[in-house]
Structure 1
């Protein structure tokens, strides 16, 4: 039982931190993707003129 708790303590924390960082990064990537799409649209409109 002690070994199981030790394994969970050693592995659980890095997993929790990784999941937290991935969730935060996903939101930022979503915003970055929208910004790139908006920039692409502006460039396309300005090149048509």
Structure 2
């Protein structure tokens, strides 16, 4: 147990940062997917 606490304190911060960045990227990817899905409809409207 005594060895586990330093490992968590050393590895915990990078894990939190990684999860935060993944969450941010996921929201951006959702917008990209939505744009790609609406693209055919927009192209039909222009022709």
Tell me whether the two structures share a fold, i.e. TM-score over 0.5: yes
Instruction: Name stretches of at least 5 consecutive residues in structure 1 with no aligned partner.
Output: none
The runs of at least 4 aligned residues of structure 1 exceeding 6 Å deviation read: none
State how far apart, in whole Å, the 2-side matches of 1:31 and 1:21 are: 16
Name 1:20's counterpart in structure 2: 20
Equivalent residue pairs, number: 46
Q: What is the deviation of 1:46?
A: 4.3
TM-score (norm 1): 0.72
CA RMSD of aligned residues (A): 1.7
Q: What is the deviation of 1:42?
A: 1.4
Name 2:37's counterpart in structure 1: 37
Instruction: Name stretches of at least 5 consecutive residues in structure 2 with no aligned partner.
Output: none
